[in-house]
Amino acid sequence: MNHSRRNFLTGSAAVVAALASPRTLRASARQIVVTDPGGEWQKAAAEAFYIPFEKETGVKVSYAARPHMSMGRLKAMVEAGATEWDVTVFVKGLVPLVVKQGLVEPIDYTKIDKSQFIAGATHSHFLADHITGSMVTYSMKKFPSEGPRSWADFWNADEFPGRRGMFRGTFQTLEIALLADGVPPDKLYPLDMDRAFKSLDRIKPHIHVWWTSAAQSVQLVLDGEVDIMAGWANRMYAAVAQGAPYRRVWNQAIMGFEGWAIPKGTKNRDIAMEFLVFAAKPDRQAAFARVQPVGPTNKGAYKFIPDNIARELPTYPANLPGLVYEDPEWIGANQAKIEERWAQWIAGV
């Protein structure tokens, strides 16, 4: 989710063949293609959404990984009038851009009750499935008593020395830099890009690894290659769940919405909408959250989530006070400028 704000990857050889041969893929009218971030995310989605939907409806679901913070392939397909995907995953910050460029279909909310969802989850062309984002995660071997508890601590290499990992992309990176520089969460937007890049200049010499994929970030923690990580909440949980001796910090965790969109021009729009209705159900969101520790957007989902898992989710009451939220509209309207500045800055790393 380049993975700024990865070339097209597929989950299996069968999916590669299917996507390469649209005629074969469309042989059955009751078949859809869903693209998602891949890896552990996709495994959870298959368990919570794809396989149950197939069983309940008889619709064959083919799925593959794609960079959900990149629009390149989707834009090319739509502009060529050759849309091969029926449902895809986006972060909400990209939604204004994909809507402006006419890359996604409107959501039919006559089939989905908006009142079931937390504020910000529903959009005319997007339905958020969960919230997640970036958080400080640190090694308890390196910091057995008290580790960094904020982005300012992450920036403080004197008090908290160690190997640091940070995402090599714009997703929530400028927000992190501004919070580290003392900007109050409620004053983040509009982002002061000059101040953000000056802040990034200070941390640049202390970054041991600029990671480029979620899978890499998890592996770095599992292998103990970093002492302090600016990582995505659900991916850091995956590493901790596998035994990595690290602690996740909810204070100043930056949260954003992630969810479903229907690519413009799909021949299976009705089935795609049927899938969204299914995926929005509270028990389905709960099934996903039980595997991926994300905050479900359907308020009824917590009825289906055990408390020991619920405590690890962003929207769990004890975790809510420290959260910081993105402004997707501002991000969407300014993404091109952010990317341009970032490309110039990161080239010097």
pLDDT value of position 319: 87
Return the H-helix or E-strand segment holding 282. Answer: helix 282-291
pLDDT value of position 1: 40
pLDDT value of position 6: 29
pLDDT value of position 41: 86
For residues 59 and 54, give the distance between their C-alpha atoms in angstroms, rounded to a whole number: 5
**pLDDT exceeds cutoff 80 at 296:** yes
Q: Which residues pair with 137 in a beta bridge?
A: 229, 248
Q: Which amino acid is at 338?
A: I
**pLDDT exceeds cutoff 90 at 47:** yes
Q: At what angle do helices 193-203 and 328-346 cross, to 10 degrees?
A: 50
DSSP tag of 107? P
CATH number of 13-131+257-321: 3.40.190.10
Burial of 340 (0-12, 13-18, 19+ CB in 10 A): exposed
**pLDDT exceeds cutoff 70 at 4:** no
Give me the DSSP letters along 270-281: HHHHHHHHHHTS
pLDDT value of position 69: 62
Residue 190 pLDDT level (bands cut at 50, 70, 90) = very high
Average pLDDT rounded to a whole number, residues 125-150: 95
Tokens encoding 316: 């769990």
Please provide the average confidence, as pLDDT, over all residues in the chain: 89
For residues 140 and 144, give the distance between their C-alpha atoms in angstroms, rounded to a whole number: 5
Q: 343 CB contacts (<8 Å, ≥6 apart)?
A: none
**pLDDT exceeds cutoff 70 at 227:** yes
Q: Which residues pair with 232 in a beta bridge?
A: 134
pLDDT tens string 91-101? 888 888 899 99
Q: Which fold has domain 133-256+324-346?
A: D-Maltodextrin-Binding Protein; domain 2 (3.40.190)
Residue 29 pLDDT level (bands cut at 50, 70, 90) = low
Average pLDDT rounded to a whole number, residues 122-137: 95
Average pLDDT rounded to a whole number, residues 284-297: 93
Domain borders along the chain are 13-131+257-321, 133-256+324-346
Percent of the chain at pLDDT above 70? 91
**pLDDT exceeds cutoff 90 at 347:** yes
Asked which of 235-249, 277-291, 314-328 is least confident by mean pLDDT, the reply is 314-328
For residues 39 and 235, give the distance between their C-alpha atoms in angstroms, rounded to a whole number: 10
**pLDDT exceeds cutoff 70 at 11:** no
Percent of the chain at pLDDT above 90? 72
pLDDT value of position 17: 37
CB 49 within 8 A of CB 78: no
pLDDT tens string 317-336? 888 888 999 998 898 889 88
Tokens encoding 108: 């039919």
pLDDT top residue among 8 and 29: 29
